Amino acid sequence: MRCLLVIALLATAAAADPLSPGSIGLLVGGDSGTGADAKVIGYGYNVGLMAAWQPMNTDHHLGWAVRWATMFGGFYNGSAAQIESTLRTVHMDFTAGVRYRPWADPSRYLTLRGGVEMLRTNEPLPPQMHRSFVGGIGELGFEQYAGPVLFDVDLRYGLVGSEPSNLGLFIGVSLKGP
C-alpha cells in the first residue's frame, strides 16, 4: 500500500505536446469574381506565399491564429482586360481567427479567419476605374499536419464591403517551424 502511495505522489500528469506554432509555405488556387464582378474580372489563378503563427497544444480543441499571404494572379474572360487578354493581380492579406479541432486526432483542424485584403490590378476596373482596392476578407478552411508539413484547404471570400468581390478555393503547403 505504501508503494502505491509513493507512486501516486511522484506521478505527474502527462504534458500535452506543443504543435509547431509557425509555418511558411506556398499557396495556389483558383479565383473568380462574384455577382456583377464576375463579368468584370472573370476567373483565374493565384500563386503566392503565406506565413502563419498559430500556437497551440495537442490537448486543446480551440486556439487562435494569424496569417499573412501575398499572391500573384492572372484572370481570364473578364471585360476589364482591355490592354492584355489577362488581367494581372497582386493580393496581400492579413487575417486572424480561430482553429478548432472537433476530432480526437490532434493533426486535423477547422479554421475560421477574417481580416483585411489589398488588391492591385494592372488595369482600371469599372465602375470606379481604380486599380487599387482595400476591403475585408473571410476564410473557412481545413488544416492537416503530416510530419513536418502542414496542408491547408481554404475557401476565401474577398473584398467584403468593397469592389471587386471574389470567391476562391486555395491549397497551401507549408513547412512547420519553431
Decide: helix, strand or coil at residue 97: strand
CATH number for domain 21-177, candidates 3.60.15.10, 3.40.50.800, 2.40.160.20, 1.20.1260.10: 2.40.160.20
Amino acid making up residue 94 = F
How confident is the model at residue 159, as a pLDDT? 86
Residue 112 is placed in which grid cell? 475560421
How confident is the model at residue 78, as a pLDDT? 87
Q: Give the CA dihedral 80, 76, 171, 67, nearest 10 degrees.
A: -20
How confident is the model at residue 12, as a pLDDT? 42
Give the integer Cα–Cα distance in Å for 62 and 55: 11
- Percentages (nearest 5) of helix, strand, coil residues in the chain: 10, 65, 30
Q: DSSP secondary structure string, 136-160?
A: EEEEEEEEEEETTEEEEEEEEEEEE
With a cut of 70, list the residues of the chain below it in pLDDT.
Answer: 1-17
Domain borders along the chain are 21-177
pTM for the predicted model, two decimal places: 0.84
How confident is the model at residue 57, as a pLDDT? 86
Give the integer Cα–Cα distance in Å for 117 and 136: 6
How confident is the model at residue 20, as a pLDDT? 83
Farthest CA pair distance, the chain: 86
Give the integer Cα–Cα distance in Å for 125 and 33: 12
Bridge partners of 170, per DSSP, are 29, 154
How confident is the model at residue 121, as a pLDDT? 93
